Structure 1
Amino acid sequence: MTFKAEYIWIDGTEPTAKLRSKTKIMAGSPAGVEELPLWGFDGSSTNQAEGHASDRVLKPVFSCQDPIRGGENILVLCEVFDIDGTPHASNTRALLRPVAERFAAQEAIFGIEQEYTFFDGARPLGFPVNGFPAAQGGYYCGVGADEIFGREIVEKHLDHCLAAGLSISGINAEVMPGQWEFQVGPVGPLEVSDQLWIARWLLYRTAEDFDVSATLDPKPVKGDWNGAGAHTNFSTRAMREGDRSWDAIITACEALGEGSKPMDHVKNYGAGIDDRLTGLHETAPWDQYKYGVSDRGASVRIPWQVEVDKKGYIEDRRPNANVDPYVVTRLIVDTCCAGLEKAGQA
């Protein structure tokens, strides 16, 4: 008996990495991820090596059922290593691991809202061949063939994610025609990042069957149209529980705005962030930092219900749709958990 294992990895393309994958035929039944074998690939074709020393290594770190092929076939997310066993320079997951472990006692969890845009050739799905559609306003969470484009793909992608066992918590149509969102979480920093990469791969692969492409471009259409983000919701146990949860929430917001932290974060929140974070279209300017309750024009939003309950989570609204989730979760954990620790609120 054999099964197919689709080995998936993040390449070295800059400024925004791409997903790559290839199929390994294996004998027997799928094993735990720790028992799956290493595999090699040509790094010179993925911007991860030069031709004279091109071998790179794939190490499985997360696996789930393959909902497209079905049966016992699996999807296998991998980290990339050099042949000497050290993490490749493009391996951002390796940088997240020690930070997540250091602050594990704070029980940080994330929910990431992944926005994306469908394209039919060179134009967003739903845009007329010549010109533009009606101004945005009715498309967000809309219904009807005159306002919603690509729902069949979205529903199929959702079914695939659920069948794969991913922690998908919702979907919705977004502000621009052909623009959608799915949410992953709430789970830990490594888990949300692994699952988001798999969900992205499933999005591209599902859209492929409909001859449509999906892009994470943060500003897919210039002008008076919303960009695409990856709003990142975050909390620790101290922010969720106890009599001082509100204080911990404020401490986390303040930590994100301390000193050089705003710019340290923004410059790592996805390529093209200045095109999206303009101060318009529900964003704060990329070079300014502020937080506020129920404020979608803030860098960091505290949901209104959180203020009422005096506990809960915060939403960093700055990350681009094309952000690397391993990077954004590492930065937020490192900044907020260290701030809470310093304040004695961990």
Structure 2
Amino acid sequence: KWNYDGSSTGQAPGEDSEVILYPQAIFKDPFRRGNNILVMCDCYTPAGEPIPTNKRYNAAKIFSSPEVAAEEPWYGIEQEYTLLQKDTNWPLGWPIGGFPGPQGPYYCGIGAEKSFGRDIVDAHYKACLYAGINISGINGEVMPGQWEFQVGPSVGISSGDQVWVARYILERITEIAGVVVTFDPKPIPGDWNGAGAHTNYSTESMRKEGGYEVIKAAIEKLKLRHREHIAAYGEGNERRLTGRHETADINTFSWGVANRGASVRVGRETEQNGKGY
């Protein structure tokens, strides 16, 4: 274990400033290389209690419980983000004080007039592979200057660890490039897509024959906790989840097959096969 000054980060008072770090996962360091590593830690008080921002503690207890471990939950997380020009906080590739052409040609687009920042995106992808993160893809998103990377399939809490370290690596790379990365849900108001973190999920029971019925039962349970879950998903989602731009309305839970405007989208193949994957 190690410790740091929590008073400098707003995580502890000055008169009792030590926050204790416990290592939880290690990754190869893509910046220093050689024998260097990146260490994913979570944070505790000197008395051994998790600090309020340590959400990993309870997650680890849940994922390590026998009934959850037996289901081997798989996650594939799609992390969207926006690259901004450092001096203006305006999206990369946008004219200063102006706007690009309307959305349509940018999603998975190529070419200097449609794709802005691919050198950063590719560097991040390669760095994650070197680190040992199970990064499975990248693509340009609907709004120009917006991108996405995918982590997974990963099992249980390792998925969260890998996404957090992938975000860290992305921040380091954009720092080197002199570009700002933001995970804000709606960095540009108006007729522009926001940025989220879509979560693909399945359990052993969902992947077996008859798994579609298990999936539908799980969706009904999610419906009952919709407001509670929305409150835990981070700040600013009310600006993004408007029912427009491929989102569901923040106040209304919905699900559907192949419906990108629903809270939960079930793949067409899942419905046809009667089970998940």
> So what's the TM-score if we normalise by structure 1?
0.78
2:241 aligned partner, one-letter code:
L
Map of 1:279 onto structure 2: 243
Map of 2:171 onto structure 1: 204
Which secondary structure state, in structure 2, belongs to the residue aligned with residue 305 of structure 1?
A: helix
Q: Does 1:137 align with 2:104?
A: yes
Alignment of 1:317-332 (within 5 A): none
Map of 1:111 onto structure 2: 76
Deviation at 1:40, TM superposition (A): 1.1
Structure-2 separation of matches of 1:56 and 1:262: 33
Deviation at 1:312, TM superposition (A): 1.1
**Which ranges of 4 or more aligned residues in structure 1 deviate by more than 3 Å?**
none
1:245 aligned partner, one-letter code:
G
Which secondary structure state, in structure 2, belongs to the residue aligned with residue 257 of structure 1?
A: helix
Q: Return the match for 2:276 from 309, 312, 321.
A: 312
Aligned residue-pair number: 273
> So what's the TM-score if we normalise by structure 2?
0.97
Structure-2 separation of matches of 1:246 and 1:309: 8
Structure-2 separation of matches of 1:85 and 1:123: 43
Instruction: Structure 1 unaligned segments of length 5 or more: list them.
Output: 1-37, 314-346
Map of 1:149 onto structure 2: 116
Map of 1:176 onto structure 2: 143
2:178 aligned partner, one-letter code:
D
Alignment of 1:86-105 (within 5 A): 86-102=49-65, 103-105=68-70
Alignment of 1:1-346 (within 5 A): 38-102=1-65, 103-121=68-86, 122-242=89-209, 244-258=210-224, 261-312=225-276
Structure-2 separation of matches of 1:131 and 1:182: 27
Deviation at 1:101, TM superposition (A): 2.0
Deviations 1:54-108 (A, max 9, x none): 1111111000100111111100011101111221121100010111122211111
Deviation at 1:189, TM superposition (A): 2.5
Which secondary structure state, in structure 1, belongs to the residue aligned with residue 166 of structure 2?
A: helix
Deviations 1:20-72 (A, max 9, x none): xxxxxxxxxxxxxxxxxx11110001110111111111111000100111111
2:72 aligned partner, one-letter code:
E
Which secondary structure state, in structure 1, belongs to the residue aligned with residue 76 of structure 2?
A: strand
- What is the aligned-residue identity percentage? 49
Which secondary structure state, in structure 1, belongs to the residue aligned with residue 177 of structure 2?
A: coil
Which secondary structure state, in structure 2, belongs to the residue aligned with residue 187 of structure 1?
A: strand
Map of 1:325 onto structure 2: none
Structure-1 separation of matches of 2:7 and 2:159: 29
Conserved in 1, the CA contact under 8 Å of 2:72 and 2:156?
no
Deviation at 1:130, TM superposition (A): 2.4
Structure-1 separation of matches of 2:249 and 2:181: 26
The Cα RMSD (Å) is: 0.9
Structure-2 separation of matches of 1:90 and 1:44: 14
